[in-house]
């Protein structure tokens, strides 16, 4: 970090875009809640897992920038996320990502009205990097800091893109770390209807893909292969699909895939990786569609928010869209870049919290198990 008076990149300065400028000593501006408006700029920071992301969002809705630096290739060598490597990579990538997010938004630090960062759940080392940097920025600029729940932030990826996406709704938050059905009644007013009792759906995609020798992350690989296969070729079990309640289980499905391949190999039978991918994906889609539509009926809502990394899955998007349209339920799903982890959703969620005066103390510590409710 240059000293006051030294030459700095233009994105750090509040005086135009020249290549070499002098850092002015900023006027600090302590925001009160009544100062918040449609022009308020929030810097969002997301470092809960293996994406380093920084974003500037205006008025809680308009994405001015959303820089996402994926570590997938790095962790791919190990077949899954290595927490220590993830945290170190965040240290390297976060400050440049913030600089790029400001530059792309044509904003400077001094234009910001608040800073939001993911406080949890996630990997503790990774969370610490984002939270520490967010607090430092908020402290130096004397603007509010807000710690955001990563799962709640995924909900906001829907609210960000469509004015029609409103509460109440049933949200399916489906990612590498979580799979849950939530009755979202209002901002911060959530009831968890069901969760996975073992593996998250994305985790099952990643584990099955790893077993099949596919690259990490496995979800997109299985999605790609499934387009070439027959989803009816192998009847994998749909655990818990007929049981009451909205919990799901993916451990048995994953084991069935492994057993199927091992038996076929033992008998010397050829296997079609495309058919396995398509049949596995169809089982996940059938389970999630059935449970989600059950939850919609239970909650008596007519909106579904699909969000989280697995919301990028083509089969799930189509399957849930078909089920919703046949029952006159409106489904919302974010564009691909807002499905997986990103800071725009963190900024949007943080903006809503700041508007409601829910600032977070600079003493708050990240929580790897932060609950949604
Ligand atoms: O939300 P996310 O980026 O990180 C967590 O909060 O976990 O989700 C990552 C997960 C990974 O398990 C990845 O394999 C899965 O989302 N994923 C997919 C697809 N794209 C990403 N799963 C199935 N189909 C996809 N197209
Ligand atoms: Zn996530």
Q: Is the CB of 315 under 6 A from ligand 1?
A: no
Count of other CB atoms within 10 angstroms of residue 188: 15
Ligand 2 geometric centre to CA of 113 (Å) = 25
Contact 277, 227 (CB under 8 A): no
pLDDT of amino acid 226: 98
Round to whole Å and give the CA distance between 124 and 48: 8
Task: Choose the residue to mutate in 219, 277, 318 for probing ligand 1, maximizing ligand atoms within 8 Å of C-beta.
Answer: 219
Query: Which band of pLDDT confidence, cut at 50, 70 and 90, is reported for residue 129?
Result: very high
pLDDT per residue as tens digits for the range 204-219:
999 999 999 999 999 9
Relative to the CA of 202, which ligand 1 atom is closest? 12
φ, ψ (nearest 5 deg) of residue 199: -75, 145
pLDDT of amino acid 13: 41
Q: How do beta strands 303-307 and 169-174 pair?
A: parallel
Round to whole Å and give the CA distance between 40 and 46: 19
pLDDT per residue as tens digits for the range 226-273:
999 999 999 999 999 999 999 999 999 999 999 999 999 999 999 999
Ligand 2 geometric centre to CA of 33 (Å) = 29
Q: Is the CB of 350 under 6 A from ligand 1?
A: no
pLDDT of amino acid 80: 85
Q: Is the CB of 133 under 6 A from ligand 1?
A: no
Relative to the CA of 178, which ligand 1 atom is closest? 7
Query: Which band of pLDDT confidence, cut at 50, 70 and 90, is reported for residue 182?
Result: very high
**Closest ligand, as measured to the CA of 175:** 1
pLDDT of amino acid 79: 84
CA distances from residue 253 to 198, 224, 258, 318 in whole angstroms, order as listed = 11, 19, 9, 21
Q: Is the CB of 310 under 6 A from ligand 1?
A: yes
Ligand 2 geometric centre to CA of 148 (Å) = 12
pLDDT of amino acid 149: 98
Round to whole Å and give the CA distance between 48 and 341: 8
pLDDT per residue as tens digits for the range 140-169:
999 999 999 999 999 999 999 899 999 999
Residue where the block lists tokens 């974003």: 55
pLDDT of amino acid 1: 44
pLDDT per residue as tens digits for the range 65-91:
999 999 988 998 888 889 999 999 999
Given strand 330-332, what is the order of strands in its sheet?
Answer: 189-195, 179-186, 169-174, 303-307, 330-332
Q: Is the CB of 334 under 6 A from ligand 1?
A: no
Nearest alpha-carbon partner for 362 in 149, 138, 152: 138
Q: Return all residues near 357 (Cβ < 8 A) that are at least 6 apart.
A: 33
Relative to the CA of 218, which ligand 1 atom is closest? 14
pLDDT per residue as tens digits for the range 87-115:
999 999 999 999 999 999 999 999 999 99
Provide the percentage of residues in the chain whose pLDDT is more than 90: 86
Q: Return all residues near 120 (Cβ < 8 A) that are at least 6 apart.
A: 48, 127, 147, 149, 150, 366, 367, 368, 369, 370
Give me the residues paired with residue 41 across strands.
Answer: 58
Ligand 2 geometric centre to CA of 151 (Å) = 7
Ligand 1 geometric centre to CA of 1 (Å) = 35
Inform me whether the pLDDT recorded for 308 exceeds 80.
yes
Nearest alpha-carbon partner for 252 in 277, 232, 280: 280
pLDDT per residue as tens digits for the range 18-70:
444 455 555 555 555 567 788 999 999 999 999 999 999 999 999 999 999 99
Ligand 2 geometric centre to CA of 283 (Å) = 22
φ, ψ (nearest 5 deg) of residue 127: -60, -40
Inform me whether the pLDDT recorded for 16 exceeds 50.
no
**Closest ligand, as measured to the CA of 150:** 2
pLDDT of amino acid 76: 87
**Closest ligand, as measured to the CA of 208:** 1
pLDDT per residue as tens digits for the range 270-282:
999 999 999 999 9
Round to whole Å and give the CA distance between 283 and 289: 10
Count of other CB atoms within 10 angstroms of residue 304: 26
Nearest alpha-carbon partner for 251 in 210, 288, 198, 177: 198
pLDDT of amino acid 25: 53
Inform me whether the pLDDT recorded for 10 exceeds 60.
no
């Amino acid at each position: 970090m240059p000293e006051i008076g030294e030459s700095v990149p233009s994105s750090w300065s509040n005086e135009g875009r020249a290549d070499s400028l002098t850092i002015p000593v900023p006027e600090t501006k302590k925001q009160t809640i009544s100062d918040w408006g449609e022009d308020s700029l929030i810097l969002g920071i997301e470092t809960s897992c293996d994406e380093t992301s920084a974003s500037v969002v205006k008025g809680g809705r308009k994405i001015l920038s959303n820089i996402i630096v994926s570590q997938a290739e790095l962790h791919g060598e190990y077949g899954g996320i290595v927490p220590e490597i993830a945290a170190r990579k965040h240290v390297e990538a976060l400050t440049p990502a913030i600089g790029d997010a400001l530059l792309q938004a044509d904003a400077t630090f001094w234009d910001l009205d608040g800073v939001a960062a993911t406080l949890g759940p996630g990997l503790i080392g990774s969370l610490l990097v984002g939270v520490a940097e967010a607090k430092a920025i908020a402290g130096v600029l004397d603007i509010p800091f807000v710690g955001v729940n990563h799962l709640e932030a995924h909900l906001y990826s829907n609210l960000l893109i469509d004015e029609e996406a409103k509460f109440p709704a049933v949200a399916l938050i489906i990612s590498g770390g979580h799979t849950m059905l939530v009755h979202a009644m209002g901002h911060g007013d959530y009831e968890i209807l069901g969760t996975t009792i073992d593996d998250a759906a994305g985790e099952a995609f990643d584990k099955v893909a790893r077993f099949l020798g596919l690259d990490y992350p496995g979800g997109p690989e299985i999605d790609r292969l499934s387009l070439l296969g027959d989803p009816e070729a192998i009847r994998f079990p749909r655990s818990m699909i007929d049981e009451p309640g909205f919990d799901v289980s993916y451990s048995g499905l994953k084991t069935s895939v492994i057993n199927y391949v091992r038996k076929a190999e033992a008998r010397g039978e050829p296997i079609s990786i495309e058919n396995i991918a398509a049949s596995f994906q169809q089982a996940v889609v059938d389970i999630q569609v059935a449970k989600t539509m059950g939850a919609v009926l239970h909650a008596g809502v007519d909106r579904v928010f699909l969000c989280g990394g697995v919301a990028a899955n083509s089969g799930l998007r189509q399957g849930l869209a078909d089920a919703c349209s046949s029952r006159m339920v409106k489904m919302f799903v974010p564009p691909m870049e807002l499905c997986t982890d990103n800071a725009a959703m963190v900024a949007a969620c943080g903006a809503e919290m700041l508007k409601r005066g829910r600032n977070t103390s600079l003493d708050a510590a990240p929580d790897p198990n932060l609950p949604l409710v």
